[in-house]
C-alpha cells in the first residue's frame, strides 16, 4: 500500500519500501530537470531547446542551494548531496547531456555518478520562471491563485533498484514564488515535514 497525501496544490508520495531501500544511502546527486516550455512567443526549435535547458539547470541549482547551508543548519538530513558542478562535469565526461540524459536508467546514472540515488524531475512551464514571474497581475488572481504557470515534479529514486522512493508535485502560480529560487525554497519548506531524509522524521518514525 502506497502512502499518498494530497492537500492544497501539493501531492506527495512516499514508497512503502523507502526505509528498506534507502537504509544505506549516503549521497544523492541532483540532476538538471527536464523542462517543457509552452510559450506564446514564436521560437525556433533551437531557441526553445536552449531555454528549456536553462530552466532545467536553474531548478537543479535552486535545489542544491536549498539543501546546502544555511538551510542545513535548520534541518538535518541523513544524506549528503553531490556538488552539482561535479555532477554535471561527470555527466559531460561520460557524454551524457541534457538532450540525452532521459535515455539512461536511474541505475546507470547512479553508477556513473558514484551515488546512492538521484533527485530528478520535470517542469512544465508557460513562462520563463528563472527570469521571474510577471509583476503585472490582478489582485483577484493573486488571492485566488488563478494565474497558472505550470507544474513541477520532484522525484527521488534509488540507485540499486531504480525504484521511485519519493515524489512531490506542485502547481506553479503567482503565490508559489517569484522565481526559481523562491519557488524551490517555498516548496521544500512546505514539504519538509514529509521529506524522507529528514533526521528527526526518521527518528520519530523508528520510535513509533
**Higher pLDDT among residues 33 and 148, named by residue:** 33
In a domain, 181, yes or no: yes
Q: Which one is predicted more confidently, 175 or 69?
A: 175
Question: Residue 193 — very low, low, confident or very high, per pLDDT cuts 50/70/90?
Answer: low
**Which cell goes with 11?**
501531492
Q: What is the pLDDT of residues 41-72, one digit of tens each?
A: 777 888 889 988 998 998 899 899 888 866 55
What's the pLDDT score for residue 114? 98
CB 104 within 8 A of CB 146: no
Residue 201 covered by a domain: no
- Give the pLDDT confidence score for residue 70 in this predicted structure: 63
**Per-residue model confidence (pLDDT) at position 176:** 67
Q: Model-level pTM?
A: 0.82
The domain that contains 52 carries what CATH number?
3.40.50.10610
Q: What percent of the chain has pLDDT over 90?
A: 42
Burial of 179 (0-12, 13-18, 19+ CB in 10 A): middle
Query: What mean pLDDT do residues 93-113 have?
Result: 97
Is residue 35 within 8 Å of 52, Cβ to Cβ? yes
Q: What is the pLDDT of residue 150?
A: 81
Q: At 77, is the pLDDT very low, low, confident or very high (cuts 50, 70, 90)?
A: confident
Is 45 contained in some domain?
yes
pLDDT in the model for residue 107: 97
The reply to whether 86 falls in a domain is yes
Q: Which of 30, 25, 114, 35 is nearest to 68 (CA)?
A: 30
pLDDT computed for residue 152 by the predictor: 87
63 close to 72: Cβ distance less than 8 angstroms = no
The whole-chain average pLDDT of the chain stands at 81
Residue 141 pLDDT: 46
Q: Are 15 and 2 in contact (CB under 8 A)?
A: yes
Q: Identify the DSSP state of 127.
A: S
The answer as to whether 53 is a domain residue is yes
pLDDT higher at 133 or 191: 191
Mode of pairing for the β-strands spanning 34-37 and 117-125: parallel
Cell numbers 540507485: residue: 159
88 in a structural domain: yes
Which tens digits make up the pLDDT trace of 113-131?
A: 999 999 999 988 877 777 7
The C-alpha cell that represents 184 in the structure block: 524551490
> How confident is the model at residue 180, as a pLDDT?
74
Q: Has residue 207 been placed in a domain?
A: no
Domain range enclosing 136: 3-194
User: What local confidence, expressed as pLDDT, does residue 204 receive?
Assistant: 65
Residue 85 lies in a domain: yes
Number of structural domains found in the chain: 1
Q: According to the model, what pLDDT value does residue 104 have? A: 97
Amino acid at each position: 500500500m502506497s502512502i499518498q497525501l494530497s492537500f492544497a496544490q501539493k501531492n506527495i508520495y512516499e514508497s512503502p519500501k523507502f526505509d528498506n531501500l534507502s537504509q544505506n544511502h549516503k549521497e544523492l546527486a541532483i540532476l538538471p530537470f527536464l523542462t517543457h516550455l509552452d510559450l506564446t512567443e514564436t521560437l525556433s526549435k533551437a531557441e526553445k531547446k536552449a531555454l528549456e535547458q536553462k530552466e532545467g539547470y536553474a531548478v537543479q541549482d535552486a535545489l542544491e542551494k536549498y539543501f546546502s547551508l544555511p538551510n542545513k543548519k535548520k534541518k538535518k538530513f541523513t544524506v549528503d548531496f553531490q556538488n552539482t558542478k561535479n555532477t554535471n562535469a561527470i555527466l559531460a565526461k561520460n557524454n551524457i547531456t541534457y538532450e540525452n540524459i532521459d535515455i539512461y536508467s536511474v541505475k546507470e546514472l547512479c553508477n556513473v555518478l558514484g551515488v546512492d540515488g538521484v533527485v530528478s524531475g520535470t517542469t512544465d512551464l508557460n513562462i520563463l520562471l528563472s527570469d521571474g514571474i510577471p509583476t503585472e497581475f490582478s489582485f483577484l488572481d493573486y488571492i485566488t491563485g488563478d494565474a497558472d504557470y505550470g507544474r513541477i515534479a520532484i522525484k527521488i529514486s534509488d540507485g540499486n533498484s531504480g525504484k521511485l522512493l519519493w515524489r512531490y508535485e506542485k502547481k506553479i502560480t503567482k503565490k508559489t514564488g517569484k522565481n526559481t529560487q523562491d519557488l524551490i525554497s517555498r516548496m521544500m519548506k512546505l514539504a519538509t515535514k514529509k521529506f524522507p531524509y529528514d533526521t528527526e522524521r526518521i527518528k520519530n518514525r523508528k520510535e513509533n
